[in-house]
Amino acid sequence: MDNTILVIGAGGQLGHCLKDVAKANRITNIIFPEEGAANILDLASLHELFTEIKPTYVINCAAYTAVDKAEDEKDLATAVNATGAKNLAVLCNEFNAVLIHISTDFVFEGNIVKLLTEEDTSQPINVYGLTKLDGERRITENLKAYFILRTSWLYSEHGNNFTKTMLKLGTERDELNIIADQVGTPTYAVDLATVIFHIIASNSKEYGIYHYSNEGVTSWFDFAKAIFEISKVPVKVNPIPTSAYPTKAKRPHFSVMDKNKIKSTFNIDIPYWRNSLEKCITAINNN
Spatial CB neighbours of 138, under 8 Å, sequence gap ≥ 6: 82, 83, 85, 86, 89
The residue type at 284? I
Write a three-state SS string for 94-136: HHCCEEEEEEEHHHCCCCCCCCECCCCCCCCCCHHHHHHHHHH
Helix (H, G, I), strand (E, B) or coil at 272: strand
With beta carbons less than 8 A apart as the criterion, state whether 162 and 153 touch: yes
Alpha-carbon distance of 220 to 197, in angstroms, equals 29
Alpha-carbon distance of 184 to 170, in angstroms, equals 22
E-strand stretches of the chain = 5-8, 30-31, 57-60, 98-104, 146-151, 154-155, 175-179, 183-184, 187-188, 208-211, 218-219, 236-240
The helix (H) or strand (E) run that includes residue 195 is: helix 189-202
Alpha-carbon distance of 249 to 4, in angstroms, equals 38
Which one is catalytic: 128, 146, 210, 212? Answer: 128
Alpha-carbon distance of 284 to 128, in angstroms, equals 28
Is position 245 annotated as part of the catalytic site? Answer: no
Q: What's 153's DSSP letter? A: S
Active site residues: 128
